[in-house]
Amino acid sequence: MANDRRPDDFVRITTPELADTFLEEQIGELRAQIGDKKVLLALSGGVDSSVVAAMLIKAVGDQLTCVHVNHGLLRKGEPEQVIEVFRNQMKANLVYVDATDRFLDKLAGVTDPETKRKIIGGEFIEVFAEEARKLDGIEFLAQGTIWPDILESEKGIKAHHNAGGLPEDMKFELVEPVKILFKDEVRIVGERLGLPANMVYRQPFPGPGLGVRCPGAITRDRLEAVREADAILREEFAKNGLEGKVWQYFTVVPDFKSTGIRDGKRTFEWPVIIRAVNTTDAMTAEVEDIPFELMKTLVKRITTEVKGVNRVLYDFTPKPSATIEYE
């Protein structure tokens, strides 16, 4: 690729026209780099990998194979959307792997947050590598690395999270077509590629997914409660004009139960905690001022629609002292 680093005079992509110019250039470069060879991409459905997938589909069509690993910790409707957009609409070569049981079996009984993250990350690479081995003649690995990833890894803040992790014997040449872009630029490019707005402008979602929103040992029933409550929160935020306005919002179902009452009978069920925060860099965060009427709707819907839940709590804590996620 011609640009390994973001040139000092690179004009920030703020308009559809600038995005189109970038796309035209990059698609040409992708074709030159890849030729008639095959490319593999782990497609999470997040903004960066989705944009890379759409660019490669344009550049090299079915020389690209996308692998979407469902680790069972995705939000409601996510795997379905990846299949709909990429396989059905964009006609991509998409391998969909439902590895839910594998991940949840490995995570059973594991309470330590960092161990949970390691298991999820490690298992992800294993599943992806297994799928890669089934394919013949892959020479390139595409990644949704963006410019802040490179800057942060250079500063030693975080390991370049996209780079590698694959077994030693699996050597691919990297294809990183958005690596000189900032996130806001990737979003504009994604829009020009025809990706749906809720995919391009979606809120940040951690790699370990709902796994870190089900604190302690993950169980299938509690995970289902987190997923259903999260879907209701997202639906209500969208209905009330908060989608795209609030930086990050989600639910957590902690591992304790309290008494309640339903239909005249005593219950002993989980609470759902709602978290909604605003930030620019995730280093500090302020709590969103959710309208009280909306809060009442959320309480009503969550306590009636989500199985095993009898209370709803709102987390008023900024970062610091709390972090955004619960573990």
Note the residues at the interface with ligand XMP (CB under 6 A): 117, 204, 206-208, 248, 282, 319, 323-325
Q: Which is nearer to ligand XMP, 23 or 252 (CB)?
A: 252
Residue 258 or 323: the one with the smaller Cβ distance to ligand XMP is: 323
Q: Least distance from C-beta 179 to ligand XMP, angstroms?
A: 17
**Distance (Å, whole) CA 213 – CA 156:** 27
Minimum distance from residue 277 beta carbon to ligand XMP (Å): 9
Which residue's CB is nearer to ligand XMP, number 258 or number 317?
317
Nearer to ligand XMP, 14 or 284 (CB): 284
User: What does the H/E/C string look like for the chain?
Assistant: CCCCCCCCCCCCCCCHHHHHHHHHHHHHHHHHHHCCCEEEEECCCCHHHHHHHHHHHHHHHHHEEEEEEECCCCCCCHHHHHHHHHHHHCCCEEEEEECHHHHHHHHCCCCCHHHHHHHHHHHHHHHHHHHHHHCCCEEEEECCCCHHHHHHHHCCCCCCCCCCCCCCCCCCEEECCCCCCCHHHHHHHHHHCCCCHHHHCCCCCCCCHHHHHCCCCCCHHHHHHHHHHHHHHHHHHHHCCCCCCCCEEEEECCCCCEEEEECCEEEEEEEEEEEEEECCCCCCEEECCCCHHHHHHHHHHHHHHCCCEEEEEECCCCECCCCCCCC
For residues 260 and 318, which CB has a smaller minimum distance to ligand XMP in the complex?
318
CB of 212 to ligand XMP, least distance (A): 6
For ligand XMP, the closer of residues 59 and 276 by Cβ is: 276
Nearer to ligand XMP, 63 or 248 (CB): 248
Spacing of C-alpha 119 from chain mean position: 17
